[in-house]
């Protein structure tokens, strides 16, 4: 990306990062080696108060994390034409991409996407009457020995961590530990490699614009360059999440918000860039099977606390969102709040 900056990157004034940023002391740091009763309380508190927490002693091997980080660095350092050989498009929706928009403003980043299950089953179209299923397959670069293996090994390890986290979250909601496991038999879970190059105008742009994740849960690995900001629920202030060595950052996605009937809320976050350093992050987005109807869990609703959302077919929702990556929309993309039951 040259010194002349395309106006497509420039954020509206109200969305630009402030020069001084509060650092997040409050985002809970949870040691997963602790006793289970204590963990369930801590995770429930973090999901309710912040929608975000960090985990240490999580059991994910350092070596698996190191391997995917170095594979990602090697991939993003390749010439643009080589990366574009695995560029994603409307047919091949997985692979490399460097023109992503969040809220219709272009993000200062390049990405590589792959799914944890290969192939992954999804609806063939967003048409509600079309019952055909399509398969997505991962689109790996050819001349990068070890890249695919590093990605697949890391995926398996984060998968184990996400299973453990979902069990703790289920217990924190008063449900049985395996309450959520049935949703992931044919999961659509994906991992993204994010590369944020240095930016000549970091005060006018964002690496990722403010958004809420549409996942069940997101598990993020980041390097030692700070950039992630979370919107604090108490006052709406943007808080910088300082990287903690070997920690993963976990956040509540909108599917979990719907399942919990708003007990756990998905919180807005965004990524700042800087003019000196590149930054690398690796989010894992836990998504259910495409045929899942996302709606509040019956155990968490009753006459006093009725369901706040209508049921939504996850696969159709997901496909509609994916399509918008290739066409700049004049309207807001489909959101879970569109399924909210009006009072």
- The mean-pLDDT minimum among 30-39, 238-247, 304-313 falls in 238-247
List, for residues 247-297, the tens digit of each pLDDT value: 999 999 999 999 999 999 999 999 999 999 999 999 999 999 999 999 999
Q: What domains are there in the chain, each with its CATH number?
A: 31-339 (2.60.120.330)
Query: Is the per-residue pLDDT at 239 higher than 50?
Result: yes
List, for residues 174-192, the tens digit of each pLDDT value: 999 999 999 999 999 999 9
Query: Is the per-residue pLDDT at 241 higher than 50?
Result: yes
Task: Please report the pLDDT score of residue 90 as a whole number.
Answer: 79
What is the CB neighbour count within 10 angstroms for residue 149? Answer: 13
Query: Is the per-residue pLDDT at 124 higher than 90?
Result: yes
Task: Please report the pLDDT score of residue 43 as a whole number.
Answer: 98
Task: Please report the pLDDT score of residue 1 as a whole number.
Answer: 44
Above pLDDT 70, what percent of the chain?
A: 94
Distance from the Cα of residue 135 to its chain's centroid? 21
Triad 9, 215, 170: Cα angle to 5°: 150
> How far is residue 295's CA from residue 260's CA, in Å, rounded to a whole number?
9
Q: For residue 169, what are its two tokens? A: 């979250």
Task: Please report the pLDDT score of residue 5 as a whole number.
Answer: 86
Query: Is the per-residue pLDDT at 324 higher than 80?
Result: no
> How far is residue 23's CA from residue 241's CA, in Å, rounded to a whole number?
6
Band of residue 2 on the pLDDT scale cut at 50, 70, 90: very low
List, for residues 6-18, the tens digit of each pLDDT value: 999 999 999 998 8
> How far is residue 113's CA from residue 276's CA, in Å, rounded to a whole number?
26
Task: Please report the pLDDT score of residue 20 as a whole number.
Answer: 65
The 8-class DSSP code of residue 126 comes to: S
Average pLDDT for 204-209: 95
Specify which residues 96 forms β-bridges with: 87, 112
Average pLDDT for 198-225: 95
Task: Please report the pLDDT score of residue 80 as a whole number.
Answer: 95
Above pLDDT 90, what percent of the chain?
A: 83
Phi and psi at residue 101, to the nearest 5°: -115, 140
> How far is residue 99's CA from residue 211's CA, in Å, rounded to a whole number?
17
pTM of the model as a whole: 0.95
Query: Is the per-residue pLDDT at 202 higher than 80?
Result: yes
């Amino acid at each position: 990306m040259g010194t002349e900056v395309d106006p497509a990157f420039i954020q509206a004034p109200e969305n630009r990062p402030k020069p001084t940023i509060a650092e997040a002391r409050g985002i809970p740091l949870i040691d997963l080696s602790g006793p289970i009763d204590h963990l369930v309380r801590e995770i429930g508190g973090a999901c309710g108060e912040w929608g975000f927490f960090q985990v240490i002693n999580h059991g994910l091997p350092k070596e698996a994390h190191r391997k995917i980080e170095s594979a990602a660095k090697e991939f993003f350092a390749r010439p643009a034409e080589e990366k574009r050989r695995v560029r994603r498009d409307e047919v091949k929706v997985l692979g490399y991409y460097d023109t992503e928009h969040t809220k219709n403003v272009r993000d200062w980043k390049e990405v590589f996407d792959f799914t944890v299950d290969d192939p992954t089953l999804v609806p063939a179209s967003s048409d509600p009457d079309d019952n055909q299923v399509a398969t997505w397959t991962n689109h790996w670069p050819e001349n990068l020995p070890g890249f695919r293996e590093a990605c697949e090994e890391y995926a398996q390890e984060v998968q184990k961590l996400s299973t453990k986290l979902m069990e703790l979250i289920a217990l924190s909601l008063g449900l049985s530990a395996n309450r959520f496991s049935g949703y992931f038999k044919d999961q659509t879970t994906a991992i993204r490699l994010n590369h944020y190059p240095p930016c000549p105008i970091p005060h006018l742009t964002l690496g990722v614009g403010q958004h809420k994740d549409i996942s069940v849960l997101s598990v993020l690995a980041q390097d030692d360059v700070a950039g992630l900001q979370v919107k604090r629920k108490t006052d709406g202030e943007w808080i910088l999440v300082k990287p903690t060595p070997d920690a993963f950052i976990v956040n509540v996605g909108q599917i979990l918000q719907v399942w919990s009937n708003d007990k756990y809320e998905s919180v807005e976050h965004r990524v700042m860039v800087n003019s000196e350093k590149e930054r690398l992050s690796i989010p894992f987005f836990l998504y259910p099977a495409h045929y899942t109807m996302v709606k509040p869990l019956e155990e968490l609703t009753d006459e006093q606390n009725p369901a706040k959302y209508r049921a939504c077919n996850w696969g159709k929702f997901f496909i509609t969102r994916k399509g918008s990556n290739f066409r700049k929309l004049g309207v807001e993309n489909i959101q879970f709040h569109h399924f909210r039951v009006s009072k």
